[in-house]
């Protein structure tokens, strides 16, 4: 178990290093001179030189890279050129919207998908199964941001149950804050839940055909008991993989959905940074996103070891 985790943690570290190199190359090496790139064509030599100085672009590539990484580790993400505040401050503020949104959506999609997949699998070939499969097929085909627009149209414009967008902030209380995240979370969660429910169904169907299910029945367990006690945990192994993968989709999806609902999250931050060529922000936020995805992959690996004893080797 420990060995397995150490191996996974080492590979996580290696991924982070390579990922940071890729990002650094894309942002600071390929454009040539990031300072003149950020200021555009009309900038004078002096302003460019001043910015270059401010961003610490005068060192060699390796020192610049090490400075950047060292800063990240110490929590110093640099200073935004457009906002004139530390990027870390911006990020922490925006994360208070994006992270709860992604987690809200992940919970919602998992909580919907697992029972739905379970029902479809146990009613295989019946009307319920066909209906669920048809609905999930539809759910997968819907772009989440378009679905978000439809939700706004129905629940905000027509029914006026929710506001069409904006975020009151956590200071306004948990209730209103969560309420403003509800429609975005539903929009994000539904397509993911459709995928997850299908995975759950097929994984469970696979497991139901395994020999040990026959053994369980031969012991005198009813179909429901055998499913609950032997099939579920085995069926969850592939579902975990998908949940892990979905986190990266949810994060990316959240960035897009924030645009629909005018939520002040990481997504709006990064798109504004792109239009304003604020590379310091882009670089750090992208690194943060990638870090989050890699971290979740690691957590899924840990969860694997908990669920599947074959991965834990006796020391």
The answer to whether 140 contacts other proteins (rule: CB under 8 A) is: yes
Binding-site member from 4, 15, 99, 163 for other proteins (CB under 8 A): 15
Q: How many angstroms separate the CA atoms of 159 and 174, rounded?
A: 23
Least Å from the CB of residue 177 to other proteins? 24
Residues 177-216 binding other proteins (CB under 8 A) are 210-212, 214-216
Binding-site member from 47, 58, 131, 225 for other proteins (CB under 8 A): 225
The answer to whether 61 contacts other proteins (rule: CB under 8 A) is: no
The answer to whether 297 contacts other proteins (rule: CB under 8 A) is: yes
Least Å from the CB of residue 94 to other proteins? 15
Least Å from the CB of residue 149 to other proteins? 5
Least Å from the CB of residue 123 to other proteins? 13
Binding residues for other proteins, rule CB under 8 A, total: 75
Residues 20-49 binding other proteins (CB under 8 A) are 22-23, 26-27, 30-31, 37
| DSSP per position, the chain | -HHHHHHHHHHHHHHHHHHHHHHHIIIIITTS-HHHHHH-TT--HHHHHHHHHHHTTTS-HHHHHHHHHHHHHHT---B-TTT-SBHHHHHHHHHHHHHHHHHHHHHHHHHHHHHHHHHHHHTTTSHHHHHHHHHHHHHHHS-HHHHHHHHIIIIIIIS-SS-SS----GGG-HHHHHHHHHHHHHHHHHHHHHHHHHHHHHHHHHHHTSHHHHHHHHTT--HHHHIIIIIHHHHHHHHHHHHHHHHHHHHHHHHHHHHHHT--SHHHHHHHHHHTT-HHHHHHHHHHHHHHHHHHHHHHHHHHHHH-GGGSPP-
The answer to whether 310 contacts other proteins (rule: CB under 8 A) is: yes
Contacts 24+ apart (CB under 8 A), 47-56: 51/81, 54/79, 54/81, 55/81, 55/280
The answer to whether 19 contacts other proteins (rule: CB under 8 A) is: yes
Binding-site member from 57, 142, 303, 305 for other proteins (CB under 8 A): 142
The answer to whether 138 contacts other proteins (rule: CB under 8 A) is: yes
Rank residues 172 and 306 by Cβ distance to other proteins and give the closer one: 306
Binding-site member from 48, 90, 91, 152 for other proteins (CB under 8 A): 152
Cβ-Cβ contacts under 8 Å for 73 (sequence gap 6 or more): none
Least Å from the CB of residue 143 to other proteins? 5
The answer to whether 243 contacts other proteins (rule: CB under 8 A) is: no
Q: Which stretch binds other proteins (CB under 8 A): 78-86, 89-97, 143-151, 181-189?
A: 143-151
Binding-site member from 145, 264, 299, 300 for other proteins (CB under 8 A): 145
Residues 265-294 binding other proteins (CB under 8 A) are 267, 270-271, 274, 277, 279, 282, 286, 289-290, 293-294
Binding-site member from 33, 111, 233, 272 for other proteins (CB under 8 A): 233
Backbone angles phi, psi at 86, to 5 degrees: -60, 135
């Amino acid at each position: 178990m420990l060995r397995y985790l150490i191996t996974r943690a080492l590979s996580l570290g290696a991924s982070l290093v390579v990922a940071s190199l890729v990002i650094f190359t894309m942002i600071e090496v390929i454009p040539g001179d990031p300072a003149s790139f950020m200021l555009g064509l009309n900038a004078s030599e002096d302003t460019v030189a001043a910015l270059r100085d401010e961003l610490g672009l005068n060192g060699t590539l390796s020192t610049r890279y090490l400075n950047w990484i060292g800063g990240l580790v110490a929590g110093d993400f640099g200073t935004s050129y457009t906002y004139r505040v530390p990027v870390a401050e911006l990020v922490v503020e925006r994360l208070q919207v994006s992270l709860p949104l992604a987690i809200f959506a992940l919970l919602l999609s998992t909580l919907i998908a697992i029972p739905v997949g379970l029902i479809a699998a146990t009613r295989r070939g019946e009307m319920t199964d066909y209906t669920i499969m048809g609905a999930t097929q539809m759910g997968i085909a819907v772009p989440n941001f378009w679905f978000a627009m439809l939700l706004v149209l129905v629940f905000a414009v027509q029914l006026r149950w929710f506001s069409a967008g904006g975020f009151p902030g956590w200071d306004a209380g948990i209730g209103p804050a969560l309420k403003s995240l509800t429609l975005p979370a539903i929009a994000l969660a539904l397509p993911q839940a459709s995928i997850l429910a299908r995975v759950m169904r097929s994984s469970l169907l696979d497991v139901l055909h395994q020999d040990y299910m026959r053994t369980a029945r031969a012991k005198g367990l009813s179909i429901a008991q055998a499913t609950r006690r032997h099939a579920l945990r085995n069926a969850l192994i592939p579902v975990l993989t998908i949940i892990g993968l979905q986190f990266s989709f949810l994060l990316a999806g959240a960035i897009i959905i924030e645009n629909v609902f005018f939520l002040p999250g990481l997504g709006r931050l990064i798109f504004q940074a792109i239009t304003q060529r604020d590379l310091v922000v882009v670089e750090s936020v992208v690194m943060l996103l990638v870090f989050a995805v890699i971290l979740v992959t690691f957590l899924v690996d840990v969860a694997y070891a908990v669920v599947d004893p074959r991965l834990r080797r006796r020391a």
